[in-house]
C-alpha cells in the first residue's frame, strides 16, 4: 500500500504523523519506505538525513528520471528507508510541470519498488498544489491529519471539496483510509466540541486513536531516530503504536472492499473508507 498524508492546512501534525507511522510499521517488522515530498525535507531530517545533504534527491527522480532506488537513504530505524525532499522541489516546479503527465511522475517512479516494501508512506506538502497532487496520484489510500480546532475543521471541509473538484484529474481508485485527530487536549472545552463535531460529521472515517499533545513528539525530530528511537515509552509513541495497528486493520478491510469510484463528496468517501 502506498499511503499519502495530506491536508490543505499546515501545522496539523502531518509530517509528524507520516514519520511516526512509518516508524511504527517498521517496528512491526514490515519493510517501509518514507517519501518526503516537501521542500523543507522535515520528514527526512526526522529519520536521520542531515539537513541539506540530499537537496536534489527527489527532484532528480521527478525531473531527470533517475531511478528512485539510487537515492534511497537507510535510516537508523530498522526496516525503514527514506527518499529525501529538498528546496529544489519548490525551485524546480516548472521543470516538473514540463514533464509529460507530471502528476504521475512519482507513481511511475515508485512502480519498481512496490514489491520491495510492504508500505510506502508519502508526506505531502500542505495544500493541493502540484507536489501534493503528485503524492495523491501515487497513493492507493490517504490519511488526513487535523487538529481539534475550528479552523482545522473548516480546512478539512475545504480539503474534501477541493478533492471533489479534482475528481477527474486523479486516479479514481484512491481511497480515504481515515481522518486523524492530532494535538488533542481533552482538558479544554474547545477540544471536546470540535472532536464531537468531527465525529458527528465524518463518523467512522475518523480514527478511534487520537494523538495527544506531547512535547516528546516535538523533540523527537532532532534525534533523527523518530519517536520510538527517542522515547518509545512516551504518550506520543504509545498513541502512534496504537494508530499503526488500527491502520493495518483498516488497510486489510480496504483490500477486500470495492473501489470508491473517485474522491467524491467527503461523506461518500468516509462511507466507502469504512465499508
Q: What is the CATH number of the domain that holds 230?
A: 3.40.50.300
Say whether pLDDT at 235 is over 70.
yes
Taking residues 64-72, what's their average pLDDT?
A: 93
Say whether pLDDT at 101 is over 60.
yes
pLDDT, position 146? 95
Span of 113-122, 189-198, 216-225, 228-237 with lowest mean pLDDT: 189-198
pLDDT, position 186? 86
pLDDT, position 75? 95
Say whether pLDDT at 25 is over 90.
yes
- Residue 2, domain member (yes or no): no
In this prediction, residue 190 has a pLDDT band, given cuts at 50, 70 and 90, of: confident
Give the contacts of 46 (CB within 8 A, at least 6 positions apart): 15, 16, 19, 220, 221, 224, 226
Domain total in the chain: 1
Three-state secondary structure call for residue 169: coil
Q: What is the pLDDT of residues 168-186, one digit of tens each?
A: 677 778 889 999 999 999 8
pLDDT, position 201? 92
Span of 48-52, 107-111, 265-269 with lowest mean pLDDT: 265-269
Taking residues 220-236, what's their average pLDDT?
A: 94
- Residue 266, domain member (yes or no): yes
Taking residues 23-49, what's their average pLDDT?
A: 94
Span of 81-95, 232-246, 254-268 with lowest mean pLDDT: 254-268
Say whether pLDDT at 259 is over 70.
no
- Residue 196, domain member (yes or no): yes
- Determine the structural domain holding residue 99 and report its residue range: 13-273
CB–CB of 79/29 below 8 Å? yes
Span of 49-53, 125-129, 182-186 with lowest mean pLDDT: 49-53
pLDDT, position 271? 42
Instruction: Compute the distance between CA of residue 24 and CA of residue 51 in angstroms, rounded to an integer.
Output: 23
Say whether pLDDT at 269 is over 90.
no
Q: In what order do the strands lie in the sheet with 175-182?
A: 73-74, 80-83, 32-36, 119-123, 2-5, 141-147, 175-182
Span of 44-48, 56-60, 207-211 with lowest mean pLDDT: 56-60
- Residue 193, domain member (yes or no): yes
- Residue 5, domain member (yes or no): no
Taking residues 68-74, what's their average pLDDT?
A: 93
CA distances to 34, 87, 132, 156, 227 from 40, rounded to whole Å, are 15, 6, 14, 23, 19
Q: What are phi and psi of 184, to 5 degrees?
A: -85, 135
pLDDT, position 134? 96
pTM value?
A: 0.90
Instruction: Compute the distance between CA of residue 120 and CA of residue 193 in angstroms, rounded to an integer.
Output: 34
pLDDT, position 56? 65
- Residue 132, domain member (yes or no): yes
Q: What are phi and psi of 181, to 5 degrees?
A: -85, 125
- Residue 8, domain member (yes or no): no
Q: What is the mean pLDDT of the chain?
A: 88
- Given CA atoms 88, 89, 90, 96 in this order, what sign does their dihedral have? positive
**The three cell numbers locating residue 118:** 510492504
- Residue 1, domain member (yes or no): no
Instruction: Compute the distance between CA of residue 126 and CA of residue 124 in angstroms, rounded to an integer.
Output: 7
Amino acid at each position: 500500500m502506498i499511503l499519502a498524508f495530506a491536508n490543505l492546512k499546515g501545522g496539523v501534525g502531518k509530517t509528524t504523523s507520516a514519520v511516526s507511522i512509518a516508524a511504527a510499521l517498521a517496528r512491526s517488522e514490515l519493510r517501509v519506505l518514507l517519501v518526503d515530498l516537501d521542500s523543507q525535507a522535515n520528514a527526512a531530517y526526522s529519520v536521520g538525513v542531515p539537513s541539506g545533504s540530499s537537496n536534489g534527491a527527489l527532484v532528480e527522480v521527478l525531473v531527470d528520471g533517475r531511478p528512485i532506488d539510487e537515492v534511497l537513504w537507510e535510516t537508523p530505524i530498522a526496516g525503514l528507508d527514506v527518499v529525501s525532499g529538498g528546496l529544489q522541489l519548490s525551485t524546480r516546479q516548472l521543470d516538473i510541470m514540463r514533464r509529460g503527465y507530471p502528476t504521475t511522475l512519482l507513481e511511475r517512479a515508485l512502480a519498481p519498488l512496490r514489491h520491495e516494501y510492504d508500505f510506502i508512506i508519502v508526506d505531502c506538502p500542505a495544500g493541493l498544489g502540484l507536489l501534493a497532487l503528485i503524492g495523491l496520484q501515487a497513493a492507493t489510500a490517504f490519511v488526513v491529519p487535523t487538529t481539534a480546532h475550528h479552523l482545522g475543521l473548516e480546512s478539512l471541509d475545504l480539503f474534501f471539496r477541493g478533492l471533489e473538484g479534482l475528481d477527474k484529474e486523479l486516479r479514481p481508485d484512491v481511497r480515504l483510509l481515515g481522518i486523524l485527530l492530532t494535538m488533542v487536549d481533552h482538558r479544554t472545552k474547545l477540544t471536546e466540541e470540535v472532536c464531537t463535531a468531527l465525529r458527528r460529521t465524518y463518523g467512522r472515517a475518523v480514527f478511534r486513536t487520537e494523538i495527544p499533545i506531547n512535547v516528546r513528539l516535538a523533540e523527537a525530530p532532532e534525534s533523527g531516530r523518530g519517536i520510538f528511537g527517542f522515547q518509545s515509552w512516551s504518550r506520543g509513541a504509545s498513541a502512534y503504536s496504537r494508530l499503526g495497528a488500527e491502520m493495518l486493520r483498516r488497510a486489510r478491510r480496504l483490500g477486500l472492499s470495492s473501489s470508491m469510484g473517485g474522491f467524491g463528496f467527503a461523506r461518500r468517501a468516509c462511507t466507502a473508507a469504512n465499508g
